[in-house]
Structure 1
Amino acid sequence: MATRKITITVPEELVESIKERVDARGVSGYIAAAAAHQDAMDRLRELAERLEEEHGAVTDDEQQAALDRIAAIDGWHDEQDSQAEEAA
């Protein structure tokens, strides 16, 4: 992926906090990852808004059903991991 150098203004305390925890990626990599995450969240929010406009709001029951399905999938993956560790 091509990169471009830009100038941003960040509070000094934030820069120092980032410098305390970065590895080889450095401050630029850390901030690029944060910006990419925010961009993904913004795009997801835009998608959710479009879907809600087209299909209506998700009901509490639908949301709970989705969370239950995610929990079931997580449980299945945990079980697969345990079985793989036992077999190793």
Structure 2
Amino acid sequence: MSERTGKYSITMPRDLAEAARKRGGPSGLSAYVAAAVARQIERDNLDELIRVAEAGHGPIGDEEIQALRDQLLKARHGEGTAA
């Protein structure tokens, strides 16, 4: 990892910290927490993108969501999509 790092003090429930420490394995607690924070930031960014899209185009309906899920599933199985 070539990114600069900093040392921070955080407070969290002991049971969560211990579970994270155990799951961190050889990479350690810091790497595990950094990965979790990165995932949360990605989710926050996606939530913001959805809010902006829905503000401009209206809410995304359940049928549209299912159609997109079906399309992703087909793409994962190599079925491709017709454009």
User: TM class by shorter-chain length?
Assistant: 0.7 to 0.9
Identity of aligned residues (%): 36
Question: Gaps (5+ residues) in structure 1?
Answer: 78-88
Aligned residue type for 1:41: R
CA deviations on 1:15-54 (whole Å, 9 max, x unpaired) are: 2112222222100111111111101100100010001001
- Normalised by the length of structure 1, the TM-score is 0.78
Worse-matched range after superposition: 57-66 or 24-33: 57-66
- Aligned pairs, how many? 77
Which structure has the greater CA radius of gyration? Answer: 1
Q: What's the C-alpha RMSD, in Å, of the aligned pairs?
A: 1.4
Q: Which runs of 4+ in 1 moved over 2 A?
A: none
Aligned counterpart for 1:48 among listed residues 47, 50, 55: 50
Aligned counterpart for 1:75 among listed residues 72, 77, 83: 77
